[in-house]
Amino acid sequence: MKRNALLLALSAAMCLAYPQAFAAKPAAPAASRLDALLTVAERSGFRQTGRYDEVQQLCKAFQQAYPKQVRCFEFGRTPEGRPMLALAVSRTGALSAEQARQRGLPVLLVQGGIHAGEIDGKDAGFLALREALEGKAAPGALDKQVLLFVPVFNVDGHERFGQWNRPNQRGPVEMGWRTTAQNTNLNRDYVKADAPEMQAMLALVNAWDPLAYIDLHVTDGAKFQPDVSIQVEPVHGGDAALMQAGVALRDAVMDDLRKEGSDPKHFYISFAKTDDPQSGFEDSMAPPRFSTGYFPMRNRFAMLVETHSWKDYPTRVRITRNTIVSLLSQVAEHGAAWRKLTAEADARALNLGNQLVPLSYRTTDRTRMIQFAGYEYTRTPSDVSGALWTRYDESKPQMWTVPLREEVVPNLQVAAPAGGYLVPAAQAAMVAAKLRQHGIVYKVLDAELGKVEVEVFRAEQAKFGVQSFEGHQALAVQGAWQKDARAVGRGALFVPIAQPKARLVMTMLEPLGADSLLAWGAFNNAFERKEYMEEYVAEEVAREQLKDPAVAAEFERRLASDPAFAASAEQRLEFFARRHPSWDERFKLYPVMRSAVPR
């Protein structure tokens, strides 16, 4: 009792002497709850990463520890029945998409584990999140934004756990698999959106409309010293004003990382030629199947973070954590201004009709030499493969002088339709489902238009992929839009070009685009010949047509000028079949039209 009284008296005296030190402070989670927020990675000294049940436990634990700042919620289910989880984090009280929208807050979506073997983002995200909530990192940042954290995108792939899932990567001891349980590479799926996981992610994106989407990866490739690449779009393509802001975002994050001891690069750090350091590097604009190509089509920012696979796991997690903290700080400082820029870009997209819009980009041959920190290496003939074998000596740092090609310019450009696109009723259900997945506006015509002036695209050449890619047989076509009069019936779709996602509309519906629905094989039937004329009938038809001097002259010209045609009985007979009334008028006719006027 005397000891307790003495302690109470001492405490009272210290409170009087140092009132600020003992002033009332906001309630903090109990130590046991803080312990519950530690990851398996932290507990193991970053040798290991946890299984997905840890994500489920941490998601709940963060909400329990910070009930006014964190909401843990499910946004989808995987093919194997696992919950896809996200954490909405903010000190503003806005923990739903509607609340964020009403308060005009920027939303930063940070996604880990799209390739579940490259799992740095999961452990780094939980670490950065805890430190931000504790006020140890990005102080005040959560007062000005909502962080939407998806620890693992590819959940089923995450649970295909093994020691050698990433043979070109140092740590953790075990990790997940690159693709989903359906063997889909989610980082090729943003436009075609085949995977249930991608459809859930797009629904999340449509609901929250994030200002920036951060895609956390680990590289493959060679051994060298730089530890991370930071690639942002719009920088090379998309809305011009957003490109300037994209450069500012990228450069600010890279500056923050340099202050933390990293050596970041703004281009993907993989050699232009496999295993050949002297080939150097080239920057590029990713097509929309990738996150950094997709989000600029929505007038939003995307960042691809690629830590270097040969850095150990503690190093990679630290760098990824530093990147997330930098992003929180950048969005806190500039998010309001960047949201204004994206709103202005949305407004400009309403007037995209008749303007040239790039559908693809290329890297020019313009080259500059750069100093790049590598290691001594040798390239010698291999008695196993017969090719050159590159071996690096990481004990001997070496500065390389290598070429960098970084000028990226539009390649294929197409004028947007003045009004929009018309999709016949026969294709409407399939196309409408895809448009809904991306939040694209369209209208179902409730009455037939009759015969109207449109533009149609008939392929002069159509080449199918020789093998399956991501479960699809790709199709590449050559041709051009031409004016025509076509009947448009009830139930057809009209997709206006005057909408904020106008670039995404063109990405999906322009037949020459690398990630169009056509390119992914959605309309392959239209380019397959289904009806034929028997050869003996074609012989008779040919002789009848050759009575026309113009047809005869054209046939002789083709024989003389085209050796392949002359050598092919099939092509020679098809020459006449195409001129016969039985020829399929719809063969190689793209079943989507363009309209000069709104419908």
Q: What confidence tens digit (pLDDT) does each residue in 237-268 have?
A: 999 999 999 999 999 999 999 999 999 999 99
In which residue are the tokens 């590479």 written? Answer: 185
- What residues contact 157, with CB distance under 8 A and at least 6 apart? 113, 115, 116, 117, 176, 177, 178, 179, 180, 181
Average pLDDT over residues 178-196: 98
Is residue 410 predicted with pLDDT exceeding 80?
A: yes
Q: Which residue has the higher pLDDT, 55 or 29?
A: 55
Name the 3-class secondary structure at 1.
coil
Is residue 27 predicted with pLDDT exceeding 80?
A: no
Please report the pLDDT score of residue 29 as a whole number: 55
Angle, CA of 3, 9 and 12, to the nearest 5°: 140
DSSP letters along 472-498, please? B--EEEEEEEEEEEEEE-TT-EEEES-
CB 516 within 8 A of CB 475: no
* Exposed e or buried b per residue across 464-493, where buried means at least 16 C-beta atoms within 10 angstroms of its C-beta: eeeeeebebebbebebebeeeebebeebbb
Distance CA 238, CA 187 (A): 20
Q: What is the pLDDT of residues 461-471, one digit of tens each?
A: 999 999 999 99
10 Å CB burial of residue 550 (0-12, 13-18, 19+) is exposed
Average pLDDT over residues 288-316: 98
- What residues contact 479, with CB distance under 8 A and at least 6 apart? 457, 458, 459, 460, 461, 511, 590
What amino acid occupies position 143? D
Largest CA distance in the chain: 126
CB 355 within 8 A of CB 347: no
The structure tokens listed for 416 are: 């947007």
Is residue 375 predicted with pLDDT exceeding 60?
A: yes
How confident is residue 21, by pLDDT bands cut at 50, 70 and 90?
A: very low
Distance CA 128, CA 64 (A): 18
How confident is residue 221, by pLDDT bands cut at 50, 70 and 90?
A: confident
In which residue are the tokens 């308060």 written? Answer: 103
- What residues contact 207, with CB distance under 8 A and at least 6 apart? 97
10 Å CB burial of residue 129 (0-12, 13-18, 19+) is buried
Distance CA 115, CA 269 (A): 18
- What residues contact 409, with CB distance under 8 A and at least 6 apart? 361, 362, 364
CB 224 within 8 A of CB 314: no
Is residue 513 predicted with pLDDT exceeding 60?
A: yes
Please report the pLDDT score of residue 25 as a whole number: 41
Is residue 1 predicted with pLDDT exceeding 60?
A: no
How confident is residue 28, by pLDDT bands cut at 50, 70 and 90?
A: low
467-470's contacts with Cβ under 8 Å and 24+ in sequence apart are 470/184, 470/185, 470/188, 470/189, 470/192, 470/194
Beta sheet of 301-307, edge-to-edge order: 70-77, 83-89, 146-150, 107-111, 212-218, 301-307, 228-233, 264-265
Q: Please give the mean pLDDT across all residues of the chain.
A: 94
How confident is residue 31, by pLDDT bands cut at 50, 70 and 90?
A: low
Please report the pLDDT score of residue 278 as a whole number: 96
How confident is residue 35, by pLDDT bands cut at 50, 70 and 90?
A: confident
Name the 3-class secondary structure at 184.
coil
The structure tokens listed for 149 are: 């954290």
Q: What is the pLDDT of residues 80-134, one digit of tens each?
A: 999 999 999 999 999 999 999 999 999 999 999 999 999 999 999 999 999 999 9
In which residue are the tokens 């719809």 written? Answer: 586
Distance CA 492, CA 426 (A): 8
